Amino acid sequence: MGVCQPLDAPPQKRNEYPVSIARSDGRVQPARAGDPKRVGPYRIIGRLGSGGMGTVHAGLDPAGLRVAVKVIHPAQSEDPEFRARFRREVQLSSRVHGPCLIPLLAADPDAENPWLATAYAPGLTLDQHLATHGALTGGTLYAFATGTAQALATIHAVGVIHRDVKPQNVILTPAGPRVLDFGIAHAADGTSVTRTGVMTGTPGWISPEHYRTGTAGPESDMFAWGTLVAYAATGRLPFGTGAPDVVAYRVLSEEPDLTGLPEELRELLTKALAKNPAERINAEAAAKECARLLARQATQVLDTAAGPEPTRIDGSLTAEWNLPRTEDPAWSLPTRRRHEHALMTAVVTAITVAAVSGGIVFYSSGDRPDGDLASDHTSASTPSTEIPAPNGASAPTGSGGPATATPAPEVDPRTIKIPKDPLAGVANAAYTRSGDETQPFADEWRASATADSAGEHNAEKAIRDRMTSMLATKDMNYMKPTITFNRRAQTVMLTGGPVPQLPETQQEVFRRAGEMAACSTLAHHLKEAPTTWPYGRYSVHWKTSDGDLDAAALGYGEATDGCLSQTAGQWHGDEAGMATAEIPSSDKAEIRVADSAVKAIVATWNTNTAETNEAPLAVDDGISLGFDPVENAAYVWTDDPYSRFTSRASQSNLTSAAEEAVCRKLTHEFRSNKSWLYTRWAVAVYDSYTGTRQFIGSGTCPS
Q: Give the active site residues.
A: 164
- Other C-beta atoms within 10 Å of 376: how many? 11
Q: In whole angstroms, what is the distance from residue 57 CA to residue 24 CA?
A: 13
Q: How far apart are CA 580 and CA 431, in angstroms?
A: 32
Secondary structure (H, E, C), 28-52: CECCCCCCCCEECCEEEEEEEEECC
Would strands 680-687 and 633-638 be described as parallel, antiparallel, or unpaired? parallel
CA neighbor of 678 nearest in space, from 602, 552, 587, 559:
587
> Angle at the Cα of 435 (from 429 to 441), degrees rounded to 5?
100
Residue 102 CA, chain-centre distance (Å), reads: 24
Which of left, alpha, beta for 232 (phi over 0: left; psi -120 to 50: alpha)? alpha
Calculate the alpha carbon distances from 478 to 521, 677, 686 in Å.
22, 22, 34
Other Cβ atoms closer than 10 A to 15: 18
Cβ neighbours, 10 Å, residue 260 = 12
| Cα dihedral across residues 267, 270, 272, 274: positive or negative | negative
Task: Write b or e for each residue in 573-612: b if 16 or more Cβ atoms lie within 10 A of its Cβ, otherwise e.
Answer: bbbbbbbbbebebebeebeebbebbbebbbebbeeeeeeb
Residue 475 backbone class (left: φ over 0; alpha: ψ -120 to 50; beta: rest): left
CA distance 83 to 338: 34
Beta strands 570-571; 623-628: pairing state: unpaired
Quick one: how many helices (H) and strands (E) in the chain?
A: 18, 21
Residue 446: partners with Cβ closer than 8 Å, 6 or more residues away: 549, 550
Contact 21, 118 (CB under 8 A): yes
From edge to edge, which strands make up the β-sheet containing 170-173? 124-125, 170-173, 176-179
Which residues face 685 on adjacent strands?
Answer: 638, 694
- Evaluate whether 494 touches 463 at the Cβ level (below 8 Å): yes
How far from the centroid of its chain's Cα atoms is residue 558's Cα?
Answer: 25
